[in-house]
Amino acid sequence: MKVKKNKKDKTGKMQVIHDKLISLKESPLYEYRTSNNYFPVIGEGSLDARIVFVGEAPGRNEAKTGKPFCGTAGKVLDKLLNHVGLSREKIYITNIVKDRPPENRDPTPKEIEVYGPLLDKQFEIIKPKVVVALGRYAMGYIMTKFGLGDALEPIGKAHGKIYKAKNLDVITLYHPCVAVYNPHNLPNLLKDFEVLKKYIK
Binding residues for ligand URA, rule: CB under 6 A, are 41, 55-59, 62, 68-69, 73, 95
Which residue's CB comes closest to ligand URA? Answer: 55
Among residues 128 and 135, whose Cβ is nearest to ligand URA? 135
Smallest separation, CB 131 to ligand URA (Å): 15
Nearest to 170 by CA among 199, 44, 41: 199
| Least distance between ligand URA and beta carbon 166 (Å) | 26
Closer to ligand URA by CB, 29 or 73: give it.
Answer: 73
CB distance 68 to 43 below 8 Å = yes
CB of 59 to ligand URA, least distance (A): 4
Straight-line distance from the first to the last Cα atom of the chain, in angstroms, rounded to the nearest whole number = 25
Is the Cβ of residue 42 or residue 195 nearer to ligand URA in the bound state?
42
Pick the closer one to ligand URA by CB: 146 or 175: 175
In terms of DSSP H, where are the helices of the chain?
Answer: 2-22, 30-35, 60-65, 72-83, 109-126, 136-145, 155-158, 177-181, 186-193
